[in-house]
Structure 1
């Protein structure tokens, strides 16, 4: 029986078998990942968590005041700070390569924290258009970020060591894309960041500072719901509208893996609601 149980833990993906063993339990308390924004630093660095203000959350014995809490990678408390910032909803947060925590709110303000939960001054801004139109979503990499406003315009800070926001080409879309991912500048032909947008058509828009390209035409069978680019910029893993895992080249010219997942994104989201 033990052999059957161990064998059942392995899942075939393409031509490799994978499993997910639990290495250790996380000792943190009252951290519900389905209702919390989480940012994990690379290479076993700290983990930042905060209640997601876009969701209804059941409070336990904790204060109604939101706290930004920092933990070690094993779930041990490191530091915390009460979140008192203006600027609207927290859209996204991530750690930079030098372990600075970036927190982007709706009006385009970027709040920064060190690993001791100390606020780093001064705060940064993504610019006037982001302030007027509100930031709808953002994607981070290394020391940079790309955000999209509710007016469907893209802005980029390529390096927070020189935090200058640059507007990218107009993608020409009327609705916020289903998903967004970036190919880092060191992996693009132009040397600038390339933003991939999953839109309603069976196509992905690749947006740079000076133009927009349509990728995947004739290959995709519908809109993509989630996307992530590999560390080396060569591959794109995506989750489709009809519940397939699709791995392609990052320019969407070739399919590497296509697998039915027997679940769609709507089922997953309803379970987490």
Structure 2
């Protein structure tokens, strides 16, 4: 196996090349040109070409190849494809995509439409996060294996706990007090399996230096820190926020009120 040494900040790490991916035959050359969703534990991979990058490189007058959602194994062998033309509209702009526990690819769109695809690209279910007459749009979402929580542009939180069911149940979370004057800067979710509840907890960093925790019982403010990105430990025992200064990490023990911030990230 070929190895290469790389530098990341002050750290040297070794990169091992185990095998070549087989998707070169599908003209997949640079993953930076794609939106990528990888299932955990060596599961399937979904690739969707980023049209904005393609137009920037090719130019507005260049005819583009048919837009497809490509599905591969972890080794890059093709499983299937989805014709993406029906979704290439401003109303149906893709927010992101993720894999569920039952290996369905869940695609969430700004209109609130959610579509799941099987491993070969067949559409399996379709549901919506917003009422039919709503003018609101989905801004972002965080998912776990069996559900998701979406944040709308009007600062509403929508949850789905059973995305793999035939008719997923959509419900609103309590008002967390967010507004245009105090918008969220980052978002993370504590999955229900790590809590003493069947419902998730949602962590929202805000511009007024608060970390808001939203649950079925309502929102509450906790630690003071201005975060740009937020993620939770796999066991949901700790939370890390990438602070607005750019070189600081704030680490929170979610089982207590203690935190550790002000430490420089050695990888920056």
Name the TM-score class by shorter chain: 0.7 to 0.9
Kindly state the Cα deviation for residue 58 of structure 1 after the two structures are TM-superposed.
Answer: 3.0
**What SS does structure 2 have at the residue aligned with 1:133?**
coil
**What is aligned with 1:168?**
173
Kindly state the Cα deviation for residue 78 of structure 1 after the two structures are TM-superposed.
Answer: 2.3
Scaled by the length of structure 1, what TM-score is found?
Answer: 0.79
Higher strand share: 2
**What SS does structure 1 have at the residue aligned with 2:85?**
coil
Contact 2:9 2:267 in 1 (8 A): no
**What SS does structure 2 have at the residue aligned with 1:69?**
strand
- Kindly report the root-mean-square deviation, in angstroms, between the aligned alpha carbons of the 2 structures: 3.0
| The one of 178, 191, 194 aligned to 2:185 | 178
**What is aligned with 1:138?**
141
**What is aligned with 2:122?**
118
* Mapped partners of 2:51, 2:45: distance in 1: 18
**What is aligned with 1:210?**
217
**What is aligned with 2:110?**
106
Unaligned runs of 5+ in 2: none
Contact 1:215 1:252 in 2 (8 A): no
1:113-158 Cα offsets, whole Å, 9 max, x none, are 00111111x4111131794201111111011011011111000001
> Which segment is superposed worse, 200-209 or 108-117?
200-209
Scaled by the length of structure 2, what TM-score is found?
Answer: 0.80
1:88-137 Cα offsets, whole Å, 9 max, x none, are 210111000110000011111111100111111x4111131794201111
**What is aligned with 1:91?**
95
Contact 1:196 1:205 in 2 (8 A): yes
**Residues 1:237 and 1:62: Cα distance change in structure 2 (over 3 Å):** farther
Unaligned runs of 5+ in 1: 264-273
Q: What is the number of equivalent residue pairs in this alignment?
A: 249
